[in-house]
Amino acid sequence: MYQIRKAEKIADKIYLMDIEAPRVARHCEPGQFVIVRMDEKGERIPLTICDYNREEGIVTIVFQTVGASTYKMAGLKAGDSFRDFTGPLGRPSEFVSEDPESLSRKKFLFVAGGVGAAPVYPQVKWMKEHGISADVIVGSKTKDLLILEQEMREAAGSYYPCTDDGTYGHSGMVTSMIEELIEKGNQYDVCIAIGPVIMMKFVCLLTKKLGIPTIVSMNPIMVDGTGMCGACRLRVGDEIKFACVDGPEFDGHLVDFDNAMKRQQMYRTEEGRALLKLQEGDTHHGGCGNCGGEK
């Protein structure tokens, strides 16, 4: 059992939890995710890692209530436990294995939308710990839905909050904030965007036009987290990939976002899942066989 050390509501329908999971904390890196299960019959829920403390054996997760399982999860308190806390899963962010000195010569721009701020934070924090400055744009519908603001301000070189209603920070979408920064003379070597699929699509359309290589995390389309359900199947260039097994991060300029969004809609119904399985044949499932967990 994996005890919850802290549980708090940080915005409307958004919750943060610190989980005691020493093995995961020792081995996880930015970009990876875990699979949680509340009890013996509980649903497997893949969640990207928001933060970790290797010394204390703590892993931080952030989630939004969207269905029965996450609503039930939101009711857990400090002292309660998860039945399973499996990870780390997925591939770490590419920059983790790069030479910090060469990274320091690059200018990074992180773009987060909504709960996407949670997986962006450990990446920005890693950058700061390695002496690398990065600018961060975080967008939400309203100020009340912005999360991890203090943490982002402390870790980022420059922090730019955006609200759709214009009541706080930059008025408008994250894409218009990118355009404004470029117009002011900012130059970026790499953009990393994490958030709703539609947001990542439009960020990539813009950065492709601007000539900025862009990495996206396709964690929003994951369901089972092992590749066996076929939910996170997507086209990346001429290849078929699975977000949970091959990613979750990919070259955003190669991802077929329209296909991914269409599959998301179809996957919500039993009839749609059956049709996808029939149409995609042997390529419908991925499967990894490499799931870790606490041992």
Which pair of structure tokens corresponds to residue 8? 């708090």
What CATH number has the domain bearing residue 53?
A: 2.40.30.10
In a domain, 248, yes or no: no
In the chain, how many domains are there? 2
Closest C-alpha among 36, 31, 30 to residue 17: 36
Look-up: residue for tokens 């590749």? 227
Residues 66 and 140 in one domain: no
Q: State which of 69, 89, 109 marks the end of a domain.
A: 89
pTM: 0.88
Q: Is the pLDDT of residue 41 over 80?
A: yes
- What was the pLDDT predicted at 283? 65
84 in the same domain as 191? no
pLDDT tens readout for residues 223-240: 766 666 667 888 999 998
Q: What whole-number distance in Å separates Cα of residue 59 and Cα of residue 28?
A: 9
Range of the domain at 211: 98-217
Residue 247 falls within a domain, yes or no? no
Whether residue 152 is found in the same domain as residue 82:
no
CA 43 to chain centre: 20
Q: Are residues 149 and 75 in the same domain?
A: no
* Same structural domain, 68 and 134: no
The 8 Å CB, 24+ separation contacts for 7-10 are: 7/76, 7/77, 7/78, 7/80, 9/74, 10/62, 10/147, 10/148
**Residues with Cβ < 8 Å from 95, sequence gap 6 or more?**
103, 123, 126, 127, 190
Q: Is the pLDDT of residue 199 over 90?
A: yes
